[in-house]
């Protein structure tokens, strides 16, 4: 592990940055893409925003209204509040061609699928989904990035091209409190347990 990367930051790679890199690789993001991310303020979403922006894509983040500024600060060009009506917000952003779903909400995907025409949907959470239109595709993925992928992520953290977002840290004995906070709070990044 590079000296510039703390143990807490490195911990966010597992189940966070690695899933984000996997998703980004699976949908082959380019600078011509406009990508919408569900669950953008979470441990996977915060890394997805950064990875996609680094590729030159336009990123639209979906999150709670309390996280609007946070998501913009990470690099999202546009933010859609999931606690407000979707359609009027979609009218104010560029046309989305790809969706990366970290939440697994069929209702949310139905709204996006109904609104757009051609759409590629990739989910890290929902194993089975049927888009509403024939010119749309869906796939689920849960794979690895290999040692080279982990090495890449560590180097990008060390160089500052990526930033780890840790919302809070709890002692391992406080696991119930940590889970309760995840249920009750709109977290920004990861919640870690210290051993």
Q: What is the pLDDT of residue 151?
A: 96
Q: What is the pLDDT of residue 83?
A: 85
Q: What is the pLDDT of residue 1?
A: 86
Reading the block at residue 16, the tokens are 């966070």
28: Cβ contacts below 8 Å, ≥ 6 apart: none
CA 116, CA 56: separation in Å to the nearest integer? 22
Query: What are residue 123's DSSP bridge partners?
Result: 101, 140
Among 35, 13, 51, which Cα is nearest to 112's? 35
- Contact between 150 and 125 under an 8 Å Cβ cutoff? The reply is no
Q: For residue 152, how far is the Cα from the chain centroid?
A: 18
Helix (H, G, I), strand (E, B) or coil at 180: helix
pLDDT band at 91 (very low <50, low <70, confident <90, very high): very high
Q: Give residue-wise pLDDT tens across range 9-68.
A: 999 999 999 999 999 999 999 999 999 999 999 999 999 999 999 999 999 999 999 999
Residue 138 has pLDDT above 90, yes or no: yes
Strands lying side by side in the sheet with 136-140: 78-81, 58-63, 34-37, 98-101, 119-123, 136-140
* Planar angle of CA 44, 97, 49, nearest 5 degrees: 25
Q: What is the pLDDT of residue 171?
A: 93
Q: Give residue-wise pLDDT tens across range 100-122.
A: 999 999 999 999 999 998 999 99
Residue 82 has pLDDT above 90, yes or no: no
Q: Give residue-wise pLDDT tens across range 148-187.
A: 999 999 999 999 999 999 999 999 999 999 999 888 888 8
CA 20, CA 4: separation in Å to the nearest integer? 21
Mean pLDDT of 91-95: 96
Q: What is the pLDDT of residue 35?
A: 98
CB burial class (10 A; 0-12, 13-18, 19+) of residue 52? buried
Q: What is the pLDDT of residue 106?
A: 94
């Amino acid at each position: 592990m590079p000296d510039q990367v703390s143990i807490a930051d490195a911990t966010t790679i597992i189940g966070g940055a690695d899933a984000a890199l996997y998703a980004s690789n699976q949908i082959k993001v380019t600078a011509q893409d406009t990508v919408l991310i569900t669950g953008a303020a979470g441990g996977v979403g915060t890394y997805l925003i950064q990875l996609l922006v680094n590729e030159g894509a336009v990123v639209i983040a979906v999150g709670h209204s309390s996280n609007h500024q946070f998501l913009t600060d990470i690099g999202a060009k546009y933010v859609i509040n999931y606690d407000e009506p979707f359609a009027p917000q979609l009218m104010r952003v560029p046309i989305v061609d790809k969706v990366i779903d970290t939440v697994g909400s069929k209702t949310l995907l139905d709204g996006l699928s109904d609104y757009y025409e051609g759409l590629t949907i990739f989910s890290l959470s929902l194993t089975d989904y049927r888009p509403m239109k024939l010119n749309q595709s869906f796939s689920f993925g849960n794979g690895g990035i290999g040692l080279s992928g982990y090495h890449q992520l560590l180097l990008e953290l060390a160089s500052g091209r990526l930033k780890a977002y840790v919302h809070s840290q709890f002692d391992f004995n406080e696991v119930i409190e940590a889970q309760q906070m995840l249920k009750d709070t709109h977290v920004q990044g990861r919640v870690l347990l210290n051993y």
